[in-house]
Structure formats: structure tokens, C-alpha cells
Chain A
Amino acid sequence: MRSTELFELMSDIDDQYIDEVRERAQNAGTKRTNVLRLALIAACAALVIGSAYAVIYYYNYTKVPNVSSSDGTALETDETEIDETRALTLGFNEDGSAKADYTALTGVPFPAENGRLTKQDVYAIYDAAEMICERYDRITLSDGSSFDAPEGVSPDEAGSLRANPEQFSPDRLSEYYSLLTRLDNAVGHVFWDMINAYLPDGAADLLVHDPKINSVITEWAILDLASSGYASKSDAREAFKGADFADYPFEILEFNEYGDIFYYPGDSGKERICNGERRELISIVQQTYENVRLRTENEQRDSIVADVAAPDGD
């Protein structure tokens, strides 16, 4: 059979499958139209609000009030300093900690040491929240409450943020952290549990059960593997590369510093592995490690038994 025949024979598939995609395409079109409409409304609103602020700013800060003292002489007035709190940008210190004090900035208690975020913390929050935002429009929690997921950033924007971490927006970070905190409170799983145990039950299933497990989870897996008996993180990475991925038709190539896994799908160059497969790979590696650990324990036990069974002549 030729591929042309296969392609033509596919015309005869059930009506319902043809309809499914048409409905999907229509919904996507409607959603896109709605997004454009909202963007237009938002732009108009921003214009109106911006104009209002400009007028207020003009009268408050550029127009020096005509104030007179009781003796009739004109008084000089100091120009009021503009509150720059909202203009803070999250940069990173040389030690990797965030420059802005997140807790002070957002009012959200943050369980990071000294109340300051490391670069990885910020990435973790962004990645986990992006994953949710990409996947869900509205999130319903186990207690029945629900809320809209924030609009996620586009892949291009995400790439730009990666390249220029100083562009991480405190507002967006606050919104994302709030999202994760709400998940955490409602279902009893702490976000940081997810970091420490990258395959949790229950609440985190919301995150990891569909093919959108986030990239940092691989990194956590490697860290976890490294901390559970492997000499170093680099050894864990190597073992990950060397694990038996017989079911996967591609070669694991490399990891980047964020835990993304890349592979060669063919001749088209390096590609990032999709998130659902990453989780499967982690599972395979876990099993591989567990097998190695059990074998090592058995060998040690056998060795001890052999030593006991055959004491030396002394």
C-alpha cells in the first residue's frame, strides 16, 4: 500500500471523528476571537486609564501649586517623589538570590530562606504555573471552589524570560505564586512538597497527570536521584542518559540547566522532549536506580553472608 492510498482511504473514517475536529477548530476560532476582542477592550481601557493617570500626574507632579505664605510671598514647593514600588524589577544577585524581597513586595509569606528567592525558586514558580495556565482556563478545586487560571505567557515570551531573567515580572510572579498557593491550600499538598517529591499523589496529579509536567521536575528528579545514593548530580545526569529507554525512538542528548531534556528526532536538529514523555522517562530512571540499589544491597548482603559462612582460619 502506498501512503497516497492510506491518505485517501482515511476519507472513510467515522463521521464523529471528522465532527470532533471541526468543533475543536470552531471553538479555537471562537476563543481566539474572544481573546482578540478582550485584547481590544483591554487596550481601550488601558488608553482611558493611561490618559486619566497622565492628567492626574500632570496636575499632581508637574504643576507647581501656586501657594502663598501669609505674608503674600510665593513659596517654593518640593516636587513629590514618585512611588517606585510598582516599578521594581526582579533581578538576581551574584549568589543567585532575587534582588527584590519577594515577601515584602507581594505580602505573600514565602517559605524560602531569609524570605528571598533563589533564581531556581523563581523558575520553579514560573514553570509550574505556566504549565497550569497553558493547560487550564478554569481550575476547580476539591472543595468545589473554582477560579480562572491566569493567562500564561507565550512560548516566545517564556524563551525571552529565560534569556533575560531580570524581566521576570513581580506582578506575574505574585499572581502565579498565589495560584500555586491556592492549589496547595485547597488540596493539602504544599507546592514545595511537589518540588521535594516530584511525583506526589492527589493535588499534584492535577499538575503531573496530563502531559504537561513541567521542566523543572526533571531537574528535581535528578537532584533527588543524586541525593539518594548517587555520588553527584552529574553522575545522576549521566545515568539518566544511560538508562534503557528502549520504548523511545530517539536518543537522549543532553540536559540544560533548567532540567529540559533534548533529543534528536531525526535530521531536523535538537528538540525539547515533550512533558508527558519526560515523566515516563523519570519513571524508567527511577526503576533503573531502584534495581541498581537492590542489586547492590543484595551483593553486600551476599558478601556478608559469605564472610560469616567462611570465617578465616584465625
Chain B
Amino acid sequence: MTDEQIVDLYRDRDESAVSETAHKYGRVIRTVAQNILRNDHDAEECVNDTYLKAWESIPDARPTRLYPYLARITRNLALNRLREQTAEKRGAGQALASLDELSECVSGTAEESGEFADKVAFKEIMNGFLAGLSPETRGVFVARYWYSYSISEIARMYGISESNTAVTLFRTREKLKKLLETEGLF
């Protein structure tokens, strides 16, 4: 079934929309949650919450590409859940490791933090940055900092060594840091 047909099911309030979504994308969005949470039970709940969110939101929204739409919901739900777990001092997964790495790109302390005012501007800057990278470098970067894949998983996906992966990430973070400095977001 095409994405468009599944979205139509949502809009028609047909409950088979959820089963069709699960059939087509259940496994891959579960990977998104699993990478961040590293816990089967939590990941499963996160996926179910994703279906619920999609059910609630799609009558208004009409995503042209269903997977990124769902994966983005899953990622945000997983990050929320991770934040709660961290507050409760429960275990956390690769997301925290990749978060530590990303901290090199920003200098703000907790006190300085606040909602970043212009998300639209950031989105443009980030997309421009990603567009300027080679496909492989971009993939490695997104796999690490969007999907929270481990270094070894990324190395396997791209057929490169783990050392090479780590160096690629390091150099890309350095580029991002310079860009954020230039744009005054550092």
C-alpha cells in the first residue's frame, strides 16, 4: 500500500491505517526508538505512542512522505522518554553518547539554556549544512546524531572502518561547530 493510501485511511478514520502503518514501517521506526532507548519494552511503547500520535495528528496534517513523519514523531517521543529516564537516573542508550559528542559543537551551559527562538532558521542552517556534505559523510552524521546508531553499526552500514567513522564524525562536528559560531548560535 502506498503512503498516500495509508494517509487516506487515517483521514477516513479507518482503524486499518494503524495496522497498515505497522506492517509497512513498524520495524524501522522501532529501530529509531530502540537506538535511543536501548530497551525493548520502552521502544515498543514508544512505537505504539507513535501510532496514536499519528492517528491524532493526521486528519490535520497530510504528510507526503510517511516514514520521515512517523520517524520524527518516534524520535521526539523517545527523547522525551529518555529525558524522563535520565531524570530518574535509569539507564540510557546511544543517544546520550552521541549527545556528549554533540556538546563539542555548543558551549552553552545549563544556565544559559533556553528555548531556541528561531527553529525555522536553525532548520534552514542545518539543512544547508547537510546539503554541503558528501552523501556518505552526511549519512554517517545523520545516522549518528539523528538515529543514534552506534559507531560500529554505522561503520557496518557504510562499509568503512570504525576508526574512519569516528574521524569522519569528529571532522563533521568541527565543521558544524564553525558554522554555528559563524551564525551566532554557538
Q: Is A28's beta carbon under 8 Å from chain B?
A: yes
| Contact string against A for B residues 147-186, beta-carbon threshold 8 Å, 1 for contact and 0 otherwise | 1010000001111110110111010001000001000011
Bound state CA distance, A10 and B123, in angstroms? 8
Do A18 and B146 contact each other (CB < 8 Å), given the known contacts A1-B106, A4-B99?
yes
User: CB distance A18 to B71 under 8 Å?
Assistant: yes
Q: Is A8's beta carbon under 8 Å from chain B?
A: yes
* Residue in A2, A19, A25 whose beta carbon sits within 8 Å of that of B106 in the complex: A2
Query: Using a CB-CB cutoff of 8 Å, which residues 5-36 of chain B contact chain A?
Result: 28, 31
User: CB distance B119 to A12 under 8 Å?
Assistant: yes
Bound state CA distance, A6 and B132, in angstroms? 19
Binds B, one of A167-175, A270-278, A294-302: A270-278
- B103 surroundings in chain A (CB, below 8 A): 2-3
Q: Is B59's beta carbon under 8 Å from chain A?
A: no
Q: Is B143's beta carbon under 8 Å from chain A?
A: yes
Bound state CA distance, A5 and B116, in angstroms? 7
- Give the distance to chain B from A36, nearest Cβ to Cβ, in Å: 13
Do A11 and B72 contact each other (CB < 8 Å), given the known contacts A21-B146, A22-B67?
yes
Bound state CA distance, A10 and B105, in angstroms? 13
* Residue in A24, A249, A272, A275 whose beta carbon sits within 8 Å of that of B139 in the complex: A24
Bound state CA distance, A21 and B163, in angstroms? 20
Return the chain A residue nearest B103 by Cβ.
A3
User: CB distance B68 to A19 under 8 Å?
Assistant: yes
Bound state CA distance, A12 and B125, in angstroms? 11
Q: Is B55's beta carbon under 8 Å from chain A?
A: no
Q: Is B65's beta carbon under 8 Å from chain A?
A: yes
* Residue in A6, A18, A22, A249 whose beta carbon sits within 8 Å of that of B174 in the complex: A249
Q: Is B126's beta carbon under 8 Å from chain A?
A: yes
Bound state CA distance, A134 and B143, in angstroms? 20
Return the chain A residue nearest B101 by Cβ.
A3
Residue of A9, A25, A135, A155 with highest tally of chain B CB at under 10 A: A25
- B130 surroundings in chain A (CB, below 8 A): 13-14, 17
User: CB distance B105 to A3 under 8 Å?
Assistant: yes
- Give the distance to chain A from B185, nearest Cβ to Cβ, in Å: 6
Bound state CA distance, A165 and B105, in angstroms? 43
Query: Using a CB-CB cutoff of 8 Å, which residues 46-82 of chain B contact chain A?
Result: 65, 67-69, 71-72, 75-76, 79
- B122 surroundings in chain A (CB, below 8 A): 9, 12
Q: Is A20's beta carbon under 8 Å from chain B?
A: yes
Query: Using a CB-CB cutoff of 8 Å, which residues 25-71 of chain A contact chain B?
Result: 25-26, 28, 32
Q: Is B102's beta carbon under 8 Å from chain A?
A: yes
- A202 surroundings in chain B (CB, below 8 A): none
Bound state CA distance, A271 and B166, in angstroms? 10
Q: Is A15's beta carbon under 8 Å from chain B?
A: yes
Bound state CA distance, A135 and B157, in angstroms? 12
Do A135 and B71 contact each other (CB < 8 Å), given the known contacts A2-B110, A10-B146, A12-B123?
no
User: CB distance A17 to B142 under 8 Å?
Assistant: yes
Q: Is B127's beta carbon under 8 Å from chain A?
A: yes
- B100 surroundings in chain A (CB, below 8 A): 3
Return the chain B residue nearest A22 by Cβ.
B28
Q: Is B2's beta carbon under 8 Å from chain A?
A: no
Bound state CA distance, A14 and B127, in angstroms? 6
Q: Is B108's beta carbon under 8 Å from chain A?
A: yes
Query: Can you spell out 8 A-B residue pairs with CB atoms less than 8 angstroms apart?
Result: A1-B106, A2-B106, A11-B72, A14-B130, A22-B28, A24-B143, A25-B28, A28-B157
Q: B-contacting residues of A (Cβ < 8 Å)?
A: 1-15, 17-22, 24-26, 28, 32, 134-135, 155, 211, 249, 265, 271-277
